[in-house]
Amino acid sequence: MDSVSLTHRLRQLRRLKKAVEQFEGPLLTALADDVGKSAVEAYASEIGIVHHEIDNALRHLPKWVRRKRVRTPLVLFPGRSFITYEPYGTVLIIAPWNYPVNLALSPLVGALAAGNRVVVKPSEMSLHTSAVLAEMIGEHFDPAEIRVVEGGVDKTKELLAQRFDYIFFTGGTKIGKIIMTAAAQHLTPVTLELGGKNPCIVEQDAPLAKTARRIAWGKFFNAGQTCLAPDYVVVHRNVKEPFLDEMRKAITQFYGCDPRESPDYGRIINDGHFQRLRVLLDEGDIVIGGGTDRDALYIDPTVIDGIEMHHRIMEEEIFGPLLPVMTYDDLSVLIDDIGKRPKPLACYFFSTDRNKQQAVLAGISAGGVSINDTFAHFINSRLPFGGVGDSGMGAYHGRYSFETFSHAKSVYRGTFLFDTPMKFPPYTVSLSLIKRAFRFLY
């Protein structure tokens, strides 16, 4: 069928690229209206990434779609074995509000590269962006192949009641469980890109000025409303105070003395999330920031000291510009403690010690790890991006997106040249001969 052909897939990807280029202005405006993103931040974290994913797929798709030869054991001689990649069929992509362009269109690139028909459901919270995406897709694509469905929770439930061939969801763990339950009714495979409490560990040998800048950037980008953001920092007790000093400097350097005046600092998505975050400010000691403005949906870049693991702020994903800072003395003990918690989407470790880096990699299970930086493993499209355990299942980006939305079909092609007599009953050979044959033929 034409939708499976390489020519059609490439045509769809080029059409998507053209659509994003034509609607860049409206998309930037919508992102500013929905989440207060500056044009630079919006392009870097949303539109630019989509262009990169499309360009990467256009460049490599002819190689990705080729059938893959695999070795055939002697027992199947003289046949041939290979893997072909075919589309699942009709895919549902449910996107969140925090990166409403990137997290709707980047999975769409993979779904189109794999030859699927797609329904995209943007979040109703980012309503301006949702409207622009609907207009853009409606103008450039046949609705029988790609369609944007707008609406709230009821519309999502209505979609989930339908039989799709694959579901791709980005959002929170709680909703992820609902998605998986709905998918189970039709035995629909899913990718769940969820979140979690991403730990950020700072060893005493880390260069604190650079470390603080990289953590502050990762935490307060998009006002902390990022599934990959460092959720909390655990810094070695010996360098806690100088680390906090460097955090103050970094935040001031990024956003000025009053971040609410900075064009580069975002806002909270809505009043409900603002109120949830405001409650979390009641625990611990605020050492940086802490200011709020409900009317403007504004919360300072905030660092909180005096937090323990039992506090409420440590029991749920923060998803906002609040950064608890705790201390540790023994890295091995800390690794054990983190290992007892639900597996996060990301883990960050700052240290120049290769042995300690390896200890963190071996001891903490996470969807991905960046050492001496934040977000870095997400940015590299040659790495699979996804969660593990409570933080999700499945992965995408680059070739991994193509594979996620493709069924890898196993194929054996035999001949009619001859049959092996011992293959068929009645079985007259001895068991010992069969054992020897297996060792030889396999």
- Quick check: 227 and 195 in contact, CB under 8 A? yes
Please report which confidence band the pLDDT of residue 1 belongs to, taking 50, 70 and 90 as the band edges.
Answer: very low
Q: Kindly list the distances between the CA atom of residue 324 and the CA atoms of 199, 281, 417, in Å, as whole numbers in the listed order.
A: 10, 10, 71
Taking the C-alpha atoms of residue 397 and residue 338, their distance in angstroms, rounded to an integer, is 27
Q: Exactly one of 200, 203, 227, 246 is catalytic; which is it?
A: 227
Q: How does the average pLDDT of the chain come out, rounded?
A: 95
pLDDT digits (tens, 9 = 90+) for 105-154: 999 999 999 999 999 999 999 999 999 999 999 999 999 999 999 999 99
pLDDT digits (tens, 9 = 90+) for 161-206: 999 999 999 999 999 999 999 999 999 999 999 999 999 999 999 9
Extents of the domains making up the chain: 2-194+393-408, 199-386
Query: Is there a cis peptide before residue 100, judged by omega within 30 degrees of 0?
Result: no
Q: What is the pTM of this model?
A: 0.95
In this structure, is the dihedral angle defined by the CA atoms of residues 51, 133, 396 and 61, taken in order, positive or negative?
Answer: negative
Q: Exactly one of 41, 46, 53, 193 is catalytic; which is it?
A: 193
Exposure class string for 180-203: b at 16+ Cβ within 10 A, else e:
eebbeeeebebbbbbbbbbbbbbb
Phi, psi for residue 127 in degrees, rounded to 5: -70, -35
Taking the C-alpha atoms of residue 97 and residue 400, their distance in angstroms, rounded to an integer, is 23
Whether residue 2 has pLDDT greater than 80: no
Q: Which two tokens stand for residue 344?
A: 């996060």
Best CATH choice for the domain 199-386 from the list 3.30.9.10, 3.40.309.10, 3.10.580.10, 3.30.420.40 = 3.40.309.10
What CATH code is assigned to 2-194+393-408?
A: 3.40.605.10
- Does the annotation count 316 as an active-site position? no
pLDDT value of residue 239: 98
Taking the C-alpha atoms of residue 117 and residue 286, their distance in angstroms, rounded to an integer, is 49
Query: Is there a cis peptide before residue 78, judged by omega within 30 degrees of 0?
Result: yes
Q: What angle do CA 335, 339, 341 make, to 5 degrees?
A: 125
Looking at the chain, the number of H-run helices and the number of E-run strands are 16, 20
pLDDT value of residue 26: 98
In this structure, is the dihedral angle defined by the CA atoms of residues 400, 186, 393 and 277, taken in order, positive or negative?
Answer: positive
pLDDT digits (tens, 9 = 90+) for 215-252: 999 999 999 999 999 999 999 999 999 999 999 999 99
- Does the annotation count 257 as an active-site position? no
End-to-end CA gap in the chain: 37
Whether residue 98 has pLDDT greater than 70: yes
Taking the C-alpha atoms of residue 261 and residue 45, their distance in angstroms, rounded to an integer, is 21
Taking the C-alpha atoms of residue 322 and residue 197, their distance in angstroms, rounded to an integer, is 12
pLDDT digits (tens, 9 = 90+) for 288-332: 999 999 999 999 999 999 999 899 999 999 999 999 999 999 999
Q: What is the mean pLDDT of residues 363-388?
A: 96
Question: Which pairs from 238-242 meet CB under 8 Å and 24+ separation?
Answer: 238/204, 239/202, 239/204, 239/206, 239/208, 240/325, 240/327, 242/208
Taking the C-alpha atoms of residue 226 and residue 230, their distance in angstroms, rounded to an integer, is 9
- Residue 145's CB: how many other CB atoms inside 10 A? 15
Q: What angle do CA 142, 143, 145 make, to 5 degrees?
A: 75
